[in-house]
Amino acid sequence: MAYNIIKIMMDPNTGSKTHVLLTDGLSAIWDINKKEEAIRITKMLNENTDSGHKYEIRGTCKRSK
């Protein structure tokens, strides 16, 4: 199973959340093959955020063709 990282942005005025999937350099959704790697990257992003955004991992959804 592959994993994605989701960036969660909160509007400070309304409290509404926006969820954004991170993409690779070619604007495709970034699939990370190893769960441990996805956890490591998510931890690093959460520790280094200066905007207060949160990052979470999720399993990749199956895409229909």
Say if residues 17 and 7 touch (Cβ distance below 8 Å).
no
Q: Model confidence at 63, in pLDDT bands (50, 70, 90)?
A: low
- Please give the mean pLDDT across all residues of the chain: 93
Average of per-residue pLDDT across 17-42: 95
* Per-residue model confidence (pLDDT) at position 64: 65
Q: Is the pLDDT of residue 10 over 70?
A: yes
∠ CA 39-45-51, nearest 5°, is 145
The CA-based dihedral angle spanning residues 59, 62, 63, 65, taken in that order and rounded to the nearest 10 degrees: 160
Whole-angstrom distance, CA of residue 5 vs CA of residue 39: 9
Question: What residue ranges do the domains of the chain occupy?
Answer: 3-59
Beta strands in the chain, from DSSP E residues, in sequence order: 3-10, 17-21, 54-59
